[in-house]
Structure 1
Amino acid sequence: MSLLENRTALVVGGASGIGQAIASAFVKEGARVVVADRAESAAFDSVPIDVTDEDSVVAAVAAATGRLGEIDVLVNSAGILTESPLTEMSLETWSQTLAVDLTGVFLCCRHVVPRMVERGQGRVINIASQLGIKGGHGLAHYAAAKAGVIGLTKSLALEVSGRGVLVNAIAPGPIETPMVEGITEDWKAAKRAELPLGRFGRPEEVAPTAVLLASDPGGNLYCGQTLGPNSGDVMP
C-alpha cells in the first residue's frame, strides 16, 4: 500500500521548486493532489492563487475542495527570495517578502485548517528555511519571514493538535530551485563552502520529509516540529 493512498493534498506554490517536488512525491505515494500557484502547472491539476490576496486564497481553497472533496494535507510552499542588505532595503521589498512568505502561510492556514478541525483530522506542512533559525547576510527580510513561519507553526500546533490536526514545518538549507536565481553567484559560492556536505540540496531530496509528515503512522508523533534537511548548515 502506498504511503498516501486515499489522501488528498493542496500544495500551495507547487508549480516549481520544492513545492513541485512535494506534489510529485505525493502523487507517487498515491495521493490526489491539486496545486495552487500563480503559474499554471502542466504536470498537475491546478488552480490559480495569489497568496497575498485573501479573496484569491478563498477562491483557490474553494476550487481545490470542489475537486478533491476534502483537503487532508495542506502544504504551504509559496515563496520569494531576493538579496539586499537591511541598511539599503526598501520598505516595498521588505513588505512584499513578508506578504508572500509569511502572511500567505497565515491566509492559507486560516482558510483550510478550520475544516480540518471540523473533521477531526488533517496535516499542515509549512516550508520554512534554516535562515529562519540562523539568519543570513543580506537576507533579513527572508529570515524574518521564515522565523515567523516557524513561530506560526508552533503556535497553530498548540491550538489544533488536540483536535486531530498536526502542524509541522520543514526548514531546508540551500536548495537548487528557481527561487535562488535572485541570489548572487558570490553568495552561493560562499554558502557552498560553508556547508559540511559541500553542496546545495535538490528539491527531490526535501520531498521525502513532507511525505513522512503527511503519512500515517510515520508522521503521527510530529507536532509543532521543524525538520531540517539542510546539508548540515544547522545542527541543533
Structure 2
Amino acid sequence: MSTPFDLSGRTAVVTGGGRGLGLGITESLLAAGADVVVLSRSDISSELADHAAGLGRTVSHVPVDLGDGDAIAAAGEQVLADHTVDILVNNAGSQDRYPAVDFPLDAWDAIMDVNLRSVFQLCQIFGRPMLERGAGKVVNLASLLSFQGGLTVPAYAASKGGVAQLTKALCNEWAGKGVNVNALAPGYMATEMNTALLADPDRLAQLSVRIPAGRWGEPDDVGDVVVFLASQAAKYVHGQVLAVDGGWLAR
C-alpha cells in the first residue's frame, strides 16, 4: 500500500553516500523505494550494491572531488545524462581543527569549498531541472554548529551556518515553484567523523550527559528524517533546519 513516505520511482543523488551518515541516508532512501546515485571520491561497497539489488533498487557511483568545481560540473552532467533526479541530498562534509588565531587559510578555503561552495553548485546543477519540471526535493546537511560556535572549528561552524542560510535563501526563491529546500542538523552521531570523541572517555561522558535521549545518534536516525523531507509527507515543509539531535539543543 502506498504511503506519503513512499519514494518508489524516484531517483536521489547523495553526496558522500557510501559511508558514515551518508550510508545511513542511502540505505533509508533505498528502503523507501528510491534509486540512489552516490557522488563521492571513494567507490561504494559491493555489500551496498547487493543490498540495493535485494530490495529491487539500484545504487550507482559517480566519482567526484567536491573541492573541485570543474569536477562537480562534469559529474553533474554525467548524472543528468542518465537520470531524472528527483531528490538531492548534500551530505558530504569536511572538518579540520585548529585554534582560530592559528587556523591556516588554505584549510579554511578547503573546508568552505567542500561544505558550502559545492552545496550551492550542486543545488544549481540539479535544482535547475527540478524548477523546469516544477517538482523536486533538496535536503542539505547542516549541523548543531549552524546554531552553536563550537571550539577550534571556526571554518566548519562558518560553513554550516552558511548551509543553514543558503537553505532559507533557496526556499524563498524555489518554494513557489514546486521545489522543497530544507536542511537537517545532526547531533552527536556514532560515525567515523567522531572517532576521536568516542575514544575519549572524559569527553564522551561530558557530551553524553547533555543528550536528553540518553544516547548518541545512529546513521539511520538521520536517514529516516531525510526520507521524510524527501517525501510527499513534507510537501508543505520549506526552508527548515531540523535538528536531529536527541534533544541536545533543548538542553
TM norm structure 1: 0.93
Aligned match of 1:151: 165
Q: Pick from 7, 13, 17: which aligns with 2:16? A: 13
What does 1:21-170 align with in structure 2 at a 5 Å threshold? 21-42=24-45, 43=48, 44-68=59-83, 70-170=84-184
Secondary structure of 2:250's aligned partner? coil
Structure 1 residues 213 and 120: alpha-carbon distance in aligned structure 2, compared to 1, 3 A threshold: same
Aligned match of 1:233: 248
* CA distance in structure 2 between the aligned counterparts of 1:169 and 1:181, rounded to whole angstroms: 24
Secondary structure of 2:107's aligned partner? helix
Mark the structure with the bigger radius of gyration.
Answer: 2
* CA distance in structure 2 between the aligned counterparts of 1:85 and 1:206, rounded to whole angstroms: 30
* CA distance in structure 2 between the aligned counterparts of 1:196 and 1:10, rounded to whole angstroms: 33
Structure 1 residues 48 and 79: alpha-carbon distance in aligned structure 2, compared to 1, 3 A threshold: same
Please, which runs of 5 or more residues in structure 2 have no aligned partner? Answer: 49-58
Contact 1:134 1:234 (8 Å CA) reproduced? no
How far did 1:51 drift? 1.5
* CA distance in structure 2 between the aligned counterparts of 1:212 and 1:20, rounded to whole angstroms: 17
Secondary structure of 1:59's aligned partner? helix
| Alignment partner of 1:224 is 2:239 | yes
Please, which runs of 5 or more residues in structure 1 have no aligned partner? Answer: none
How far did 1:128 drift? 0.6
Structure 1 residues 171 and 139: alpha-carbon distance in aligned structure 2, compared to 1, 3 A threshold: same
| Alignment partner of 1:200 is 2:211 | no
What RMSD, in angstroms, separates the aligned Cα atoms of the two structures?
Answer: 1.7
Contact 1:51 1:107 (8 Å CA) reproduced? no
Q: Aligned residues: percent identity?
A: 37
Structure 1 residues 138 and 194: alpha-carbon distance in aligned structure 2, compared to 1, 3 A threshold: farther
TM norm structure 2: 0.88
* CA distance in structure 2 between the aligned counterparts of 1:120 and 1:175, rounded to whole angstroms: 35
Contact 1:169 1:227 (8 Å CA) reproduced? yes
Structure 1 residues 32 and 116: alpha-carbon distance in aligned structure 2, compared to 1, 3 A threshold: same
Instruction: Report the count of equivalent residues.
Output: 234
